[in-house]
Each structure stands twice: as structure tokens, then as C-alpha cells.
Structure 1
Amino acid sequence: MADVTVPDAFTAITINPIGEPPLPFRGTDGKYHVVYDLQLTNATKVPATLGKIDVVDGTDPKKILASFTGTALIDPTCTFGNCNRLRGLPASVIDNAEIPPQESRVLFIDFTLDSLEQAPKVLLHHVSGAGAASPAFGTPGPVDYLSTPLALSTQTLPVISPPVKGDNWIALNGCCEPGFPHRSSVMSVNGKLNNSQRFAIDWKRTNDQGEFYTGDKTSNESYADYGSEILAVGDATVVSILDGMEANAPGVLPASNPALAAKLTVKNVDGNHVVLDLGGGVFAMYAHMISGSVAVKPGDKVTEGQVIGKLGNTGNANASHLHFQLMDGPSLLEADSLPYALKSFHYDGQVAPQQIADADDYLSGTFLQGKLPSPESRTNELPLNLAIVDFP
């Protein structure tokens, strides 16, 4: 950051990054994504209001990379997409951009670049709005300043094999816009705000007709993905497992049911699961497996493509799926989320977000209307939210 200068200023709203420096990655839209979260705090005795925040090049602050204002920050009528990026703690939807005295907010940032060559080494944040203009506080007035240099990560992007095989997998709740889990899954854990699920995907499969289930929707066995083999995404060492949790009934999210929620803990919320150490500070986490299907134990060495369990519906899940993510440590609570790329797959289109938003808790209906005429071969990309993916 030697070439970055931040002018001295009284800053009514302080800004702190949540998690490690952002690591750019290529998505299935062909663009490079920069994704991170910020904690904004009004460190004064008078109200402050965030009017606009621009992400700018640290060495050339006149070069705006992304701008967030208006409905991108707050929009009570919007349920998903480029909206409601400014949240209460830990990530609750709010109805205005005011930050009361001595309170904090979370801001979800993501933007795209056409190439990595466009990525600056350091980002800066240009804040404008209203708040205290000096240490004397006084009546809120206009504020406008540069703040918080943030270097992009120079870490090598992890490249892994797929965690499942077969056609018609949907990347539910994937990156990057707010409105779907897991992008906004900030939690207060281990004495800090953390988002270990920022790049997590809930992999769920349809049949060739685009249905997630056929027959009795209250039976796990009716779902196309239930019992699918789960694969090691690389050569690795097993760090930890949990097995023995019984299956949930489809259609009921335990966290939404007081009796079931009381049984959830930080240890079992992910159901039967496996954590792998891929080396180089990269860990893979697989959640919600079928009871008794976990085929490994801590300390085991596994090889890429090895079956480590079967896809189920355990823990805090309302339907069968594989929750998969990479992170920079073995603990879901302590670790930060890592983006990654899949070595190879076939990209086969997108599911419309409104279809998922309108679906019932069983995901009834058909969901492959957005399939391409023929799938496209892709390498070294991360499937974005609601991508339709085939794994040969």
C-alpha cells in the first residue's frame, strides 16, 4: 500500500473489512468478481446516514470501480438482486440508511472486472452522506471522504475437482448478490463478525424433466439428488467428521421450528459433515450427509474423486442438498470463506431467481426452462448463483 495516500479527515462513519482481503475469481458470466464485506460504525454522538459509497482505485481515486447508492443500499420492496446491501447486525434487512450513534451496519460489496489486468492492487472507499463533520459533533451535515485502503489478495486461487457427478445440478444460494443465503450469512462468532459461507453453494439436482422430486414430496427418497455420491475435490487429509444425525422431514427448516431449533448447536447445525485439509491453508467442508454414509474418519488420506459420503437432509436443511464450501481454516466459525474455481464442467444455463423465490418449501415445479440449447465446456470458473451445471 506504499503508493496509496489517504487524506486526513474526521470520519463519522468508520469502515472495517470483515474477513481476509478479497481474492478475485472468474465466474460463469465470464467476468472476474471481487467480493467482500464491510462493517460500518457511526463512532459519534449524532446520527449518520450513508448516501453513497464508491469503490475506487487506491492509486487513482478518480477511477471508480463500483458505486453503491439508492436502492442498491436500501430497498424494502426488493427481495433479491442488487439491493439491500446495507444491513443491520449481523445481517438483518433494514428500511433506511441511517446509522444511529454508536451503532454499526454491514455492507455487502461485490463488483466485476472484464480481466484481472483491470484489478488495482489496492482499493479505497469514497464515502458520502451525512453525519458529524468534526470532533465537536454538532448537527449532522454533509460528509465526503476517502477511507480504508484494502489490498486485493495475492493468494493463488484454489482450483478443485467437482464434489458431485452427473447432470442437472443447480448452484443454489451461490455467489454473489445479496438476497439468497449464503452471501449474507454474517455471524457474530469467536468475538468477531465472520462470513465463512460467502462463497458456499447448495448443490441440488433435478431429474431430466427439471423436477427436484417426483411422487411423495414429504419423503426424502423422492428427491432426485438424495443418496448421490459425494466426492473428494482433491487429495486431502480428513480433519473432522460428524455422523449419526437422523434425516429431517422435507419441507421443514429446523431453525424455523422452535422445537427443532432448540436441538441445533454450532456442532450439529451442518448435519452429518466432513472437513478436508487440501493443503496450503485451504479446507473443504461438506454438509448435510445421510446418517451412516460418512465413509472416512479423522486422519484418513483421501484421493481426488474418492467417495466420502452420500448426499442427504440433516442439520439445518429443509430439503436434500450438498452444502459445499472452501475456507481458510478447519472451523466453520473461525475460518473465512474462500472463492475457488472448478477444473472443468459443462455450463448449461441459469434458473430464473424469481422461480426459486416463488417456490414452496419443497421446491415443487420444474426448473430447467433456462437451459442452453447445448451445454458449454468450461474450465477454471466458479458457478454463480443458480447456474445449471453438468459434471461428466
Structure 2
Amino acid sequence: MAFNGYASPGWGHRDAILPANMTLNNSQRFAIDWKQANDHGDFYAGDRTRNESYVDYGSPIYAVADGTVTSTLDGVEANVPGILPASDPVLAATLTIDNVDGNHIIMDIGSGIYAMYAHLVRGSLLVKPGDKVKKGQQIAALGNTGNSSASHLHFQLMDGPSLGEADGVPYVLDSFDYQGQIGEAAVWDADNYLSGSFFGSQRLPAPEQRTNQLPVLLALVNFPQN
């Protein structure tokens, strides 16, 4: 599910404008928080306060393109699901521009474009600054670190290597199967654990193949298996 995705105002990424060096930047303008569910539309099974209960926690993360790693962070501890650090006075005080996206990887993928993968599991990073990476290579595992209330992959492209001093770059995905839209009300009505099934009547009876497109906010998609 494409949470906090492109196009709709009032969601976290589109409005995340940062002032830096006398300019206003939004490196997250086209970012998506990818959250995986099981076949029933559930994000977790069992104890919802344990990261390991979530379907996607620990899933492998792959590079979207050939590139060179420019920076990484790999020392942030996992959050307890259901608690967004920015909403907790004690935890909010620990957030900085450097750790707000948790453990992360930034890669130079050429032509002045940088890819960022965020909220990764501590100790899961398989690359370091200076490493050359191939498209499809596993680089880390999906986690719940930084300003995150549940495991997910934050992905974005930007026109510089710094989260605070770059602007977002639009992009498309080679291919995916589109399966409908999740209603915004279903998300707003969910608790901080994102409990409940989100598929409901919004799921198409059969997936529709899409190529060279960017899924919009709350799109439900499947990716081809390698």
C-alpha cells in the first residue's frame, strides 16, 4: 500500500517543506511509505506491540538502480509499534534532521539524482559509503526506526545527497499490478497500529498491469516476483 503517497495534500510527505540555506526544499515531495499486508489485508498477526508480528518487518530491500552509496546511518534502535516519536514529547526531543528517517541509505544513481531508503532495521545494512551497487542487489532490511510508528519502507528520489537541502524528483516504476485504492477514511479511522483489514470493497477483482507509472496515494499494488 502506498501510504503518504503522491498528489493529495494534508499527508506527511507533500507538506514536509524544510528551510535550509535561504531556500525552501521538500525532498519528500514524491516519496512513498510502502506498507505490506498479508492476503487478507492485515498488517500483523499476534502481538501488535512487537515488530516481528508485522508482515513486512525484516523484508529485504533492493536497489532500484545501479549507483554508489554516498551515506548511511545504522545505529538507530527499533521503535515500539504504535508510537510515533514525533507525537511523544520525550521521543520527539531525540529526533534530528540526521536521524528522523532512522537507519537509511542514500545512493547516487547518476544524472544528479539520489535514491533514499529509510526506516531500516539496525544492523541490516549490507553496504557502506563508497560501495558500488547494482540494480536488484539487496542492500538492507525493512524496519521501524526514526519517526515511524510501524514497519515500512520510505523511498524517495531527490536532486541532492542531503535530506534537508534537496528537492524531490518525480519518477515512475517499471511495472506493477494495480489492485485498487484504499479509502482515506479507513486509514484515518485506524489506530496507531493500523489495525484492521484495508482491502474490503476497494480491491479490484483482478489486478491491472501498469507500466511506467507512479502509484498515487493509498494505491494497492503488487510487484512482480524476481
TM > 0.5: yes
1:359 to 190, 195, 209: 190
Q: Report the counterpart of residue 173 of structure 1 in structure 2.
A: 4
SS of corresponding position for 1:221: helix
Q: Report the counterpart of residue 374 of structure 1 in structure 2.
A: 206
Q: Report the counterpart of residue 169 of structure 2 in structure 1.
A: 338
| Pair 1:216-2:43 in alignment | no
1:281 to 112, 117, 121: 112
Q: Report the counterpart of residue 179 of structure 2 in structure 1.
A: 348
| Pair 1:229-2:60 in alignment | yes
Contact 1:190–1:333 under 8 Å retained in 2: no
What whole-Å deviation, never above 9, does each CA across 1:354-387 have from its counterpart, x for those lacking one?
Answer: 1111111000000112111111111100010000
| Pair 1:391-2:207 in alignment | no
1:199 to 30, 35, 40: 30
For normalisation by structure 1, the TM-score amounts to 0.56
Q: Report the counterpart of residue 137 of structure 2 in structure 1.
A: 306
Task: Give, in angstroms, the shift of residue 191 of structure 1.
Answer: 2.5
Pair member with larger Rg: 1
What whole-Å deviation, never above 9, does each CA across 1:2-24 have from its counterpart, x for those lacking one?
Answer: xxxxxxxxxxxxxxxxxxxxxxx
What whole-Å deviation, never above 9, does each CA across 1:11-48 have from its counterpart, x for those lacking one?
Answer: xxxxxxxxxxxxxxxxxxxxxxxxxxxxxxxxxxxxxx
What letter is aligned with 1:235? D
SS of corresponding position for 1:260: helix
Distance between the aligned counterparts of 2:199 and 2:20, measured in 1? 38
Distance between the aligned counterparts of 2:148 and 2:21, measured in 1? 24
What letter is aligned with 1:378? R
The count of corresponding residues between Structure 1 and Structure 2 is 223
Name the one with the larger strand percent.
Answer: 1
Task: Give, in angstroms, the shift of residue 189 of structure 1.
Answer: 2.6
Q: Report the counterpart of residue 151 of structure 2 in structure 1.
A: 320
Q: Which residues of 2 match residues 1-392 of structure 1 at below 5 A?
A: 170-369=1-200, 370-392=202-224
Q: Over aligned residue pairs, what C-alpha RMSD do you find?
A: 0.8
Distance between the aligned counterparts of 2:70 and 2:221, measured in 1? 28
SS of corresponding position for 2:35: strand
Structure 2 unaligned residues grouped into runs of 5+: none
- 4+ residue runs over 3 A deviation: none
Task: Give, in angstroms, the shift of residue 188 of structure 1.
Answer: 2.1
Distance between the aligned counterparts of 1:179 and 1:217, measured in 2? 27
Greater Cα shift, 310-319 or 369-378: 369-378
Distance between the aligned counterparts of 1:279 and 1:207, measured in 2? 35
Q: Report the counterpart of residue 149 of structure 1 in structure 2.
A: none
Contact 1:271–1:288 under 8 Å retained in 2: yes
Task: Give, in angstroms, the shift of residue 190 of structure 1.
Answer: 2.9
Whose RCO is larger (CA < 8 A, sep 6+)?
2
Distance between the aligned counterparts of 2:95 and 2:8, measured in 1? 28
SS of corresponding position for 2:2: strand
Task: Give, in angstroms, the shift of residue 177 of structure 1.
Answer: 1.5
What whole-Å deviation, never above 9, does each CA across 1:245-285 have from its counterpart, x for those lacking one?
Answer: 11000011111111111111111111000001110011100
What whole-Å deviation, never above 9, does each CA across 1:229-257 have from its counterpart, x for those lacking one?
Answer: 11100111111000021100001111111
Distance between the aligned counterparts of 1:239 and 1:172, measured in 2? 26
Distance between the aligned counterparts of 1:278 and 1:368, measured in 2? 35
